[in-house]
Amino acid sequence: MSEKEVKNLEEIFDAKIARDEKIEPKDWMPEKYRQTHIRQISQHAHSEIVGMLPEGNWITRAPTLKRKVALLAKIQDEAGHGLYLYSACETLGVTREELYEQLHSGKAKYSSIFNYPTLTWADMGAIGWLVDGAAIINQVPLCSTSFGPYARAMVRVCKEESFHQRQGFQIMMTLANGTPEQKEMAQDALNRWWFPSLMMLGPTDDASVHTEQSMKWKLKRKSNDDLRQQFVDQTVPQADMIGLTIPDPTLKFNEDTKHYEFGDLDWDEFWQVVKGHGPCNKERISARVNAWEKGKWVRDAAMAYAEKQESKKLNVAV
């Protein structure tokens, strides 16, 4: 294909997206579109399955049976969401195994918030309320992203996730209305998860590299700073409602803009965690690698069994 022909195809392609038409896996697409999507969708998938670990940490210790089943079901959903997203990614010609390899080798990124430890039961509340809350703000616009399989996966994810944030908020609300000790536990969790949740929405706009291209492809509909503002605006009143204090003394409502103004974020810490220096980076990756390596003989056995059954069937047919 000549350069001119490619350029022509790209123009048709861009026009299609601008008209809100979806791109499907077998359609022609610029190589950069394919690579960007593989990267973003797989990062998203990795975040889901690494995200299972900090919460999984509390399954055996959940305080009541009702909380235990809700937490289990929520973490199971995250496995499901990882699966939908890996499947969407696979339509772009990469295998789940290759994507795992990238995660395990440290080549692929995942949401850095999951590198923080879950220390008390209130962290289950804070994660559901804040981390899932921030995730939803990010995910809802992706339901109308340009790549069909990603958009469809996100529709399913968003539908299923609607209970996750409620589950978390209800945990926090119960703690905040509980004994002083419980309230303190809730406040402590909010203190620890607040800033990481804000930073989870991505670097500030001036430090963000991919935004313009991503906007065009509808991988992003709003800038990171806008998303962050939306998150703060919706979450502060929720904290007020249950009597918890946002751990930001500079936080104040601006009557003119009708937005909350909040303090500076510790981006140095953010980048350190992204680079692998968070409190749990090593544990998270080694848990994933461990599960995969220890599962190898199981997966091999299932394949060997399937092949034996297949050849038995063939022998009978002959």
Tell which one of 86, 110, 150, 260 touches other proteins (CB under 8 A): 86
Among 75, 61, 221, smallest CA distance to 146 is for: 221
Pairing of strands 259-261, 252-254: antiparallel
As measured in angstroms, the least distance from the Cβ of 177 to other proteins is 8
Residue 274 carries which DSSP code?
A: I
207 contacts other proteins (rule: CB under 8 A): no
Contact 191, 247 (CB under 8 A): yes
Cβ-based nearer residue to other proteins, 121 or 231: 121
Q: Three-state SS for 281?
A: helix
d(CA 179, CA 103): 42
Tell which one of 2, 60, 250, 315 touches other proteins (CB under 8 A): 60
Tell which one of 37, 44, 82, 110 touches other proteins (CB under 8 A): 82
d(CA 41, CA 23): 15
Tell which one of 52, 94, 157, 219 touches other proteins (CB under 8 A): 52
93 contacts other proteins (rule: CB under 8 A): no
Query: How many helices and strands (H and E) does the chain possess?
Result: 13, 2
As measured in angstroms, the least distance from the Cβ of 47 to other proteins is 13
290 contacts other proteins (rule: CB under 8 A): yes
Tell which one of 22, 34, 39, 80 touches other proteins (CB under 8 A): 80
Cβ-based nearer residue to other proteins, 113 or 171: 171
Tell which one of 2, 179, 250, 254 touches other proteins (CB under 8 A): 179
* Residue 190, both tokens: 């909010």
**Residue written as token pair 């079901």:** 73
Which one of the spans 106-114, 176-184, 220-228, 257-265 is the region binding other proteins (CB under 8 A)? 176-184
List C-alpha distances in Å: 235 to 192, 194, 197, 225, 272.
Answer: 15, 10, 11, 15, 26
Cβ-based nearer residue to other proteins, 234 or 286: 286
List C-alpha distances in Å: 98 to 78, 235, 285, 292.
Answer: 20, 38, 16, 12
84 contacts other proteins (rule: CB under 8 A): yes
158 contacts other proteins (rule: CB under 8 A): no
Phi then psi for residue 222, to 5 deg, are -130, 155
Binding site for other proteins (CB under 8 A): 24, 26-28, 49, 52-53, 56, 59-69, 72-73, 75-77, 79-80, 82-84, 86-87, 90, 95-97, 121, 152-153, 156, 160, 171, 174-175, 178-179, 181-182, 287, 290-291, 294-306, 308-310
